Chains A and B, each alone.
Chain A
Amino acid sequence: MQDRYQYLLLMASCLVITLPLEFVLRARVYRRWRQLVRALLPVLGIFLVWDWVGIVRGHWQYSDRYTTGILLPFGIPVEEFVFFVVVPICGVLTYEAVGTVLGRVRPAGRAGSEPGLGSAASSGFGGEVVDG
Protein backbone atom coordinates (compact mmCIF):
# COMPACT_ATOMS: atom_id res chain seq x y z
CA MET A 1 0.00 0.00 0.00
CA GLN A 2 1.41 3.34 -1.05
CA ASP A 3 0.49 5.26 2.06
CA ARG A 4 1.90 8.52 0.83
CA TYR A 5 -0.71 8.73 -1.90
CA GLN A 6 -3.55 8.36 0.56
CA TYR A 7 -4.55 12.05 0.61
CA LEU A 8 -4.37 12.27 -3.18
CA LEU A 9 -6.34 9.06 -3.61
CA LEU A 10 -9.02 10.40 -1.29
CA MET A 11 -9.30 13.48 -3.49
CA ALA A 12 -9.39 11.36 -6.65
CA SER A 13 -12.21 9.30 -5.19
CA CYS A 14 -14.18 12.50 -4.59
CA LEU A 15 -13.91 13.35 -8.28
CA VAL A 16 -14.84 9.83 -9.36
CA ILE A 17 -17.85 9.63 -7.07
CA THR A 18 -19.22 13.01 -8.18
CA LEU A 19 -18.50 12.54 -11.89
CA PRO A 20 -21.88 10.92 -12.67
CA LEU A 21 -23.59 14.13 -11.53
CA GLU A 22 -22.17 15.83 -14.60
CA PHE A 23 -24.01 13.47 -16.94
CA VAL A 24 -26.75 11.62 -15.10
CA LEU A 25 -28.11 14.68 -13.33
CA ARG A 26 -27.00 17.04 -16.10
CA ALA A 27 -24.93 19.26 -13.85
CA ARG A 28 -22.92 20.46 -16.88
CA VAL A 29 -20.20 21.87 -14.71
CA TYR A 30 -17.14 20.50 -16.48
CA ARG A 31 -18.80 21.44 -19.73
CA ARG A 32 -18.76 25.06 -18.57
CA TRP A 33 -15.11 24.69 -17.64
CA ARG A 34 -14.20 28.31 -18.22
CA GLN A 35 -16.87 29.46 -15.79
CA LEU A 36 -15.68 26.76 -13.39
CA VAL A 37 -12.07 27.86 -13.53
CA ARG A 38 -13.02 31.47 -12.91
CA ALA A 39 -15.27 30.50 -10.01
CA LEU A 40 -12.44 28.54 -8.42
CA LEU A 41 -9.85 31.31 -8.55
CA PRO A 42 -11.04 33.46 -5.63
CA VAL A 43 -11.54 30.37 -3.48
CA LEU A 44 -8.08 29.09 -4.29
CA GLY A 45 -6.53 32.45 -3.51
CA ILE A 46 -8.24 32.96 -0.18
CA PHE A 47 -7.97 29.40 1.08
CA LEU A 48 -4.35 28.88 0.08
CA VAL A 49 -3.53 31.98 2.10
CA TRP A 50 -5.56 30.62 4.99
CA ASP A 51 -3.78 27.29 4.68
CA TRP A 52 -0.43 29.06 4.75
CA VAL A 53 -1.46 31.05 7.82
CA GLY A 54 -2.51 27.81 9.49
CA ILE A 55 0.84 26.21 8.73
CA VAL A 56 2.90 29.22 9.80
CA ARG A 57 0.88 29.80 12.97
CA GLY A 58 0.97 26.12 13.81
CA HIS A 59 -2.77 25.49 13.61
CA TRP A 60 -2.18 22.28 11.66
CA GLN A 61 0.43 20.17 9.96
CA TYR A 62 0.35 17.33 7.49
CA SER A 63 1.29 13.72 7.97
CA ASP A 64 4.59 12.77 6.37
CA ARG A 65 3.30 9.27 6.00
CA TYR A 66 0.08 9.98 4.11
CA THR A 67 1.25 12.79 1.83
CA THR A 68 3.71 12.80 -1.05
CA GLY A 69 5.95 15.40 0.55
CA ILE A 70 5.74 17.54 -2.58
CA LEU A 71 5.53 21.12 -1.39
CA LEU A 72 4.38 24.19 -3.28
CA PRO A 73 5.80 27.64 -2.54
CA PHE A 74 5.28 28.73 1.08
CA GLY A 75 5.46 25.11 2.19
CA ILE A 76 1.93 24.20 1.18
CA PRO A 77 1.56 20.49 0.37
CA VAL A 78 0.45 19.83 -3.19
CA GLU A 79 -2.42 17.83 -1.69
CA GLU A 80 -3.86 21.00 -0.20
CA PHE A 81 -3.89 22.71 -3.56
CA VAL A 82 -5.70 19.68 -4.97
CA PHE A 83 -8.14 19.81 -2.05
CA PHE A 84 -9.03 23.44 -2.78
CA VAL A 85 -9.77 22.53 -6.39
CA VAL A 86 -11.53 19.21 -5.90
CA VAL A 87 -13.85 20.01 -3.00
CA PRO A 88 -15.25 23.20 -4.57
CA ILE A 89 -15.82 21.30 -7.84
CA CYS A 90 -17.74 18.65 -5.91
CA GLY A 91 -19.76 21.44 -4.31
CA VAL A 92 -20.69 23.00 -7.65
CA LEU A 93 -21.57 19.60 -9.12
CA THR A 94 -23.82 18.95 -6.13
CA TYR A 95 -25.45 22.36 -6.42
CA GLU A 96 -26.19 21.92 -10.11
CA ALA A 97 -27.40 18.35 -9.65
CA VAL A 98 -29.78 19.51 -6.92
CA GLY A 99 -30.97 22.18 -9.33
CA THR A 100 -31.78 19.53 -11.91
CA VAL A 101 -33.68 17.43 -9.39
CA LEU A 102 -35.61 20.38 -7.95
CA GLY A 103 -36.49 21.49 -11.46
CA ARG A 104 -37.73 18.04 -12.27
CA VAL A 105 -39.99 17.65 -9.24
CA ARG A 106 -41.36 21.17 -9.40
CA PRO A 107 -44.90 20.93 -10.80
CA ALA A 108 -45.49 22.30 -14.27
CA GLY A 109 -41.95 23.55 -14.34
CA ARG A 110 -39.73 23.06 -17.29
CA ALA A 111 -36.18 22.80 -16.15
CA GLY A 112 -34.55 26.07 -16.93
CA SER A 113 -37.66 28.19 -16.83
CA GLU A 114 -37.49 31.07 -14.45
CA PRO A 115 -40.86 31.70 -12.79
CA GLY A 116 -41.37 30.37 -9.34
CA LEU A 117 -37.73 29.82 -8.69
CA GLY A 118 -35.54 31.72 -6.34
CA SER A 119 -33.56 34.19 -8.36
CA ALA A 120 -30.34 32.38 -7.79
CA ALA A 121 -31.73 28.97 -8.57
CA SER A 122 -32.51 29.94 -12.12
CA SER A 123 -28.91 30.45 -13.01
CA GLY A 124 -28.17 27.04 -11.63
CA PHE A 125 -30.01 25.17 -14.30
CA GLY A 126 -27.90 26.40 -17.09
CA GLY A 127 -30.67 25.89 -19.59
CA GLU A 128 -29.26 25.24 -23.00
CA VAL A 129 -26.61 27.85 -22.63
CA VAL A 130 -23.21 26.28 -22.55
CA ASP A 131 -19.99 28.05 -21.98
CA GLY A 132 -17.44 26.91 -24.48
Chain B
Amino acid sequence: MVEVPEYTVLAVASVLGVLLAERFWWRTGLLRTAQFWVAMGIVFFFQTLVDGWLTKLRAPIVIYNPAHLTGIRVPFDIPVEDYAFGFSMVSLTLVAWVRLGRRHESPAPERPR
Protein backbone atom coordinates (compact mmCIF):
# COMPACT_ATOMS: atom_id res chain seq x y z
CA MET B 1 0.00 0.00 0.00
CA VAL B 2 1.50 3.27 -1.11
CA GLU B 3 1.25 6.06 1.40
CA VAL B 4 -0.75 9.00 0.10
CA PRO B 5 1.05 12.35 0.15
CA GLU B 6 -1.80 14.10 1.88
CA TYR B 7 -0.60 17.68 1.44
CA THR B 8 -0.28 17.09 -2.29
CA VAL B 9 -3.83 15.75 -2.45
CA LEU B 10 -5.27 18.61 -0.39
CA ALA B 11 -3.38 21.23 -2.40
CA VAL B 12 -4.65 19.89 -5.73
CA ALA B 13 -8.16 19.47 -4.32
CA SER B 14 -8.19 23.07 -3.10
CA VAL B 15 -7.41 24.41 -6.57
CA LEU B 16 -10.08 22.21 -8.13
CA GLY B 17 -12.50 23.34 -5.44
CA VAL B 18 -11.88 27.00 -6.17
CA LEU B 19 -12.16 26.48 -9.94
CA LEU B 20 -15.39 24.50 -9.62
CA ALA B 21 -16.92 26.90 -7.09
CA GLU B 22 -16.11 29.84 -9.35
CA ARG B 23 -17.50 28.06 -12.40
CA PHE B 24 -20.76 26.88 -10.89
CA TRP B 25 -21.40 28.95 -7.77
CA TRP B 26 -19.66 32.32 -7.40
CA ARG B 27 -19.54 33.08 -11.13
CA THR B 28 -17.66 36.33 -10.68
CA GLY B 29 -15.85 36.02 -14.00
CA LEU B 30 -12.71 36.95 -12.08
CA LEU B 31 -10.63 34.20 -13.66
CA ARG B 32 -11.35 35.60 -17.10
CA THR B 33 -9.84 39.01 -16.33
CA ALA B 34 -6.33 40.20 -17.08
CA GLN B 35 -6.39 42.05 -13.78
CA PHE B 36 -6.62 38.76 -11.87
CA TRP B 37 -3.87 36.96 -13.76
CA VAL B 38 -1.45 39.87 -13.75
CA ALA B 39 -2.01 40.22 -10.02
CA MET B 40 -1.50 36.48 -9.50
CA GLY B 41 1.74 36.66 -11.46
CA ILE B 42 3.00 39.37 -9.14
CA VAL B 43 1.76 37.45 -6.11
CA PHE B 44 3.59 34.30 -7.23
CA PHE B 45 6.80 36.27 -7.67
CA PHE B 46 6.63 37.60 -4.14
CA GLN B 47 5.45 34.25 -2.82
CA THR B 48 8.70 32.80 -4.13
CA LEU B 49 10.66 35.25 -1.99
CA VAL B 50 8.58 34.92 1.18
CA ASP B 51 7.89 31.21 0.90
CA GLY B 52 11.47 30.62 -0.09
CA TRP B 53 12.51 32.15 3.21
CA LEU B 54 9.90 30.19 5.19
CA THR B 55 10.79 26.81 3.71
CA LYS B 56 14.54 26.98 3.10
CA LEU B 57 16.03 23.73 4.30
CA ARG B 58 19.12 25.46 5.69
CA ALA B 59 17.05 27.20 8.41
CA PRO B 60 13.38 26.39 7.93
CA ILE B 61 10.59 28.21 9.68
CA VAL B 62 8.03 25.75 8.38
CA ILE B 63 9.23 22.17 8.45
CA TYR B 64 7.50 19.74 6.10
CA ASN B 65 7.07 16.04 6.47
CA PRO B 66 8.53 14.51 3.29
CA ALA B 67 5.96 11.72 3.45
CA HIS B 68 3.17 14.12 2.57
CA LEU B 69 4.83 15.92 -0.33
CA THR B 70 5.78 15.03 -3.88
CA GLY B 71 9.27 16.08 -2.88
CA ILE B 72 9.51 18.51 -5.77
CA ARG B 73 10.93 21.66 -4.20
CA VAL B 74 11.63 24.48 -6.66
CA PRO B 75 12.79 27.19 -6.75
CA PHE B 76 14.92 27.35 -3.64
CA ASP B 77 13.39 24.69 -1.39
CA ILE B 78 9.73 25.59 -1.89
CA PRO B 79 7.44 22.56 -2.05
CA VAL B 80 5.57 22.79 -5.34
CA GLU B 81 2.35 22.18 -3.39
CA ASP B 82 2.74 25.60 -1.79
CA TYR B 83 1.93 27.27 -5.10
CA ALA B 84 -1.40 25.48 -5.25
CA PHE B 85 -2.02 26.43 -1.63
CA GLY B 86 -1.19 30.05 -2.44
CA PHE B 87 -3.36 30.10 -5.52
CA SER B 88 -6.35 28.79 -3.59
CA MET B 89 -5.85 31.18 -0.71
CA VAL B 90 -5.40 34.33 -2.78
CA SER B 91 -8.03 33.55 -5.40
CA LEU B 92 -10.58 32.74 -2.68
CA THR B 93 -9.78 36.09 -1.09
CA LEU B 94 -10.13 37.95 -4.37
CA VAL B 95 -13.42 36.27 -5.22
CA ALA B 96 -14.81 37.29 -1.83
CA TRP B 97 -13.43 40.80 -2.25
CA VAL B 98 -14.95 41.23 -5.70
CA ARG B 99 -18.31 39.81 -4.67
CA LEU B 100 -18.52 42.10 -1.66
CA GLY B 101 -17.35 45.05 -3.75
CA ARG B 102 -20.13 44.55 -6.26
CA ARG B 103 -22.71 44.39 -3.54
CA HIS B 104 -21.46 47.67 -2.13
CA GLU B 105 -20.96 49.52 -5.35
CA SER B 106 -23.98 48.51 -7.37
CA PRO B 107 -26.97 48.25 -5.07
CA ALA B 108 -29.32 48.52 -8.03
CA PRO B 109 -28.72 45.71 -10.53
CA GLU B 110 -28.77 46.88 -14.10
CA ARG B 111 -30.14 43.65 -15.39
CA PRO B 112 -33.81 44.00 -16.38
CA ARG B 113 -36.19 41.53 -14.87
Contacts and interface: CB of A to CB of B under 8 A. Distances in A.
Nearest to B110: A114
Given A50-B10, A91-B43, A121 B61 contact: no
Contact of B64 (A53, A59, A94, A95): A59
Contact of B105 (A7, A63, A117, A127): A127
The main secondary structure of chain B at its interface with chain A is helix
Nearest to B7: A59
B70 interface: no
Range of interface residues on A (Cβ < 8 Å): 35 or more
Q: Which of B36, B53, B60, B96 has the most CB of A within 10 A?
A: B96
Contacts of B86: 87
A126 to B, nearest CB: 7
A39 B33 contact: no
A124 interface: yes
Interface in B23-74: 28-30, 32-36, 38-39, 42-43, 46, 50, 53-54, 59-65, 67-68
B107 to A, nearest CB: 10
B68 A59 contact: yes
B90 A91 contact: yes
Contact of A131 (B64, B67, B104): B104
The main secondary structure of chain A at its interface with chain B is helix
A130 to B, nearest CB: 9
Given A35-B100, A59-B68, A121-B35, A88 B93 contact: yes
Contact of A95 (B6, B54, B97, B102): B97
Nearest to A54: B7
Nearest to B105: A129
6 contacts: A6-B61, A7-B54, A14-B50, A118-B34, A120-B30, A123-B101
Given A7-B54, A120-B29, A123-B106, 8 more contacts: A14-B46, A63-B60, A67-B61, A87-B86, A87-B90, A90-B43, A94-B43, A120-B36
Interface of A: 6-7, 10, 14, 32, 35-36, 38-43, 46-47, 50, 53-54, 57-63, 66-67, 84, 87-88, 90-92, 94-95, 97-99, 102, 117-121, 123-124, 126-127, 129, 131
